[in-house]
Amino acid sequence: MTAPPHIWVEPEHLRDAARRLRETGGRLQMAYAWYSEPSRLELRYVATEAGQSHFAVWRCAPNGAAPSLAGIWPLTGWYEREITDLFGLVFSEHPEPHRLMLHEGVNPIRPPFDPDYPAQTPLEAELKQQSVPEVAGATADVQLLPFGPVRADVFESGEFLFFYVGESILHYQPRLFFKHRGMEKRFEGLAAEGGIVLAERISGVASVAHVLAYCQAVEAAATCVAPPRARFLRVLLAEMERLYNHLHYLGHLCHTTTLKVGEAQGKLLEERVKQLNARLTGSRFLRNILTVGGLRRDLSPKGWLEAELKTLQEDFSVYARHLENTDSHLDRLITTGILEQRVAFDQGATGPVQRASGFDRDVRRDHPYAAYAELPLTVPVRDAGDAHARAQVRMAEIDASIAVVQHVLSLLPDGPIKADCEVPPGSEGLGFTESPRGTLFYAVHFDQRGRLARVKIKSPSFSNWRVFPFTVHGSNMMDYAINEASFGLTIAGCDR
């Protein structure tokens, strides 16, 4: 990966730049902050410009405050609130000027990412009543249901506020970050190789996507390129991860519609892919294989994996056909949780969620990395924007992923699997992948010792959790679990 172009933007010109980007058909992807020097806070915005295969990075040095871009690009609302919580920077005229990550009662002595924050000092917190939004026009009939943060089964911690009348949901507010682990902070001071272990564990079900984005960011900083064999094998691993995630998704979606046979069959197919992963790498979750510059060790997929995937695809085709012909299942999905295309764009939807709302976007094709530029890739798109469309996109992606893996196996070159990568002090890089849930970014910055000074992670669930409430308002309580499952969200990826 090559370094994206950097563009300096003065604070007073940020909104003009954001408007021009929107008017010319571009898209703002994310925003973050970092201390380029102990007393110098810098804002970074990653943007996609229309017709360009690279990402552009805007740089801005605010002087105590910065203008909010949420009125132009609503998706930046969460990023700006995150920056305020962690760095203390205030964004003027923000439409949602309240905390996102730090709950009521958390009182840090300094912003947690301030260079002067004392190391190993926990955040001070006290019990405090949470602020609850007022529902406009609410009557005495409106009830409030706080659900969570402890939920049944193996669900991650999150509290969800429902304002409802009967079965109708008037307003819904997710409350996340109960188990924020400070993973970005944990990278600081590590050598490049040391960050691999952390990256693989940000979100357990996307180990390959995270570590690949991280490694590619470091490789961009080091201006090194992984060998061809390593790039093809990286694609294979990423698509095997996509397969088991999508199969689990379909099984869990059946669970919410009470289609028990469909749940069992989907999760059995998921288990078969995980067993293939273990046979291929020794890890069901494909860990401890990728490294900066390529792979830790070579893999031998030829001669057996193609046959196994052919059988899997035949069995999946039967499974998918049964799902699409089961009325009780379809009745619960069709028209449930409709995400309008404009809302998907404005709020930053990504991955299968945005593709189910009519957006033909996938960074594997639009900003190719690893060996994707050398492989045919089908990007399924649907227009309905409902739970059924989101399931259909993932079903079509399963067939597309198997096709990609088969092409990798037929084209896999011989040769080395790792290149030497020496990271220059003070360098930086941007890496990205199309994870099973959507676009994932890693921005890495190294200090003058060659150690990590800042790692920013933009996970797809951080984007899609912001989008999700727009499909809940005005829906009903009976459809909520189905709608949430249809988004395929993870809290760990969001709470990094």
Residue 479's alpha-carbon distances to 48, 206, 312, 352, 488, in angstroms, are 35, 27, 31, 20, 15
Whether residue 155 is predicted with pLDDT greater than 80 in this model: the reply is no
Q: What was the pLDDT predicted at 86? A: 94
Domain shared by 84 and 233, yes or no: no
Least Cα distance to 217 among 298, 293, 288, 285 occurs for: 293
Ranking 119-123, 125-129, 352-356 by mean pLDDT, the lowest is 125-129
Residue 86 belongs to a domain? yes
Same domain, 109 and 233: no
Q: Is the pLDDT of residue 129 over 80?
A: no
Q: How far apart are CA 398 and CA 404, in angstroms?
A: 10
Same domain, 197 and 330: yes
Cα–Cα distance, 483 to 389 (Å, whole number): 12
**Could you give the residue ranges of the DSSP H alpha helices within 324-386?**
327-333, 341-347, 352-355, 363-366
Whether residue 114 is found in the same domain as residue 192: no
19 and 94 housed in the same domain: yes
Strand pairing class (452-458; 290-291): unpaired
pLDDT for residue 120: 78
Whether 154 has a pLDDT exceeding 70, the answer reads: no
Residues 117 and 188 occupy one common structural domain: no
For the stretch 441-478, pLDDT in tens is: 999 999 999 999 999 999 999 999 999 999 999 999 99
Least confident of 74-88, 127-141, 232-246: 127-141
Q: Is residue 407 part of a domain?
A: yes
> Does the pTM of the predicted model rise above 0.75?
yes
Q: Which one of 101, 121, 141 terminates a domain?
A: 121
Phi-psi region of 177 (alpha: psi -120 to 50; beta: other; left: phi over 0): left
Instruction: State the pLDDT at residue 107.
Output: 86
Residue 146, domain member (yes or no) = no
pLDDT given at position 226 = 98
Range 242-246 average pLDDT? 98
* Residue located via tokens 């040095």: 61
pLDDT band at 53 (very low <50, low <70, confident <90, very high): confident
Distance CA 19, CA 305 (A): 49
Model confidence at 396, pLDDT cuts 50, 70, 90, reads very high
Answer whether 172's CB lies under 8 Å from 182's CB: no
pLDDT-derived band of residue 145, with 50, 70 and 90 as boundaries? confident
- Establish if 96 belongs to a structural domain: yes
Q: Does one domain contain both 113 and 212?
A: no
The pLDDT of residue 119: 79
Domain assignment present for 239: yes
Query: Of 121, 137, 164, which residue constitutes the final position of a domain?
Result: 121
Q: Are residues 104 and 205 in the same domain?
A: no
Q: Is residue 164 part of a domain?
A: no
Residues 14 and 91: beta-carbon distance below 8 Å: no
Total tally of structural domains belonging to the chain = 2
pLDDT value of residue 130: 73
Tell me if 139 is assigned to some domain: no
User: Does residue 353 fall inside a structural domain?
Assistant: yes
- Cβ 214 vs Cβ 206: under 8 Å: no
- Per-residue pLDDT of 272-316, as tens digits, reads 999 999 999 999 999 999 999 999 999 999 989 999 999 999 999
As a whole number, mean pLDDT of residues 85-114 equals: 90
The CATH number given to whatever domain includes residue 101 is 3.30.460.80
pLDDT of 131: 72
Residue 357 confidence class, pLDDT cut points 50, 70, 90? very high
| Residue 94, pLDDT above cutoff 90 | yes
Mean pLDDT of the residues in the chain? 93
290 and 205: one domain? yes
Distance CA 274, CA 461 (A): 22
Contact by Cβ (8 Å): 465, 471: no
**Residue 200 and residue 101 in one domain:** no
Reported as a pLDDT band with limits 50, 70 and 90, residue 492 is confident
Going by the DSSP 8-state scheme, the letter that residue 358 receives in this structure is: T
User: Mind listing the pLDDT tens digit for each residue in 16-48?
Assistant: 999 999 999 999 999 999 999 988 999 999 999
Res. 1 pLDDT band, cuts 50 70 90: low
Q: What is the mean pLDDT of residues 487-493?
A: 89
Closest listed residue to residue 254, CA positions, set 186, 328, 170, 180 = 328
Q: Is the pLDDT of residue 137 over 70?
A: no
Q: Are residues 367 and 481 in the same domain?
A: yes
435 alpha-carbon distance from chain centroid: 7
Residues 92 and 237 in one domain: no
Distance (Å, rounded) from C-alpha 127 to C-alpha 134?
A: 22
Residue 138, pLDDT above cutoff 60: no
Is the per-residue pLDDT at 140 higher than 80?
no
Provide the CATH number for the domain around residue 332. 1.10.645.10
> Residue 261: is its pLDDT beyond 60?
yes
Please state, as a whole number, how many other Cβ atoms lie within 10 Å of the Cβ of residue 285.
18
Query: What is the per-residue pLDDT across 169-215, written as a single tens digit (0 to 9) for each?
Result: 999 988 888 877 788 989 999 999 999 999 999 988 899 999 999 99
CA dist 103 → 107, 144, 175, 244 (Å): 9, 19, 9, 34
Residue 40: domain span = 1-121
- Answer with the one of 100, 121, 142 that is the final residue of a domain: 121
Percent share of the chain, pLDDT over 70: 97
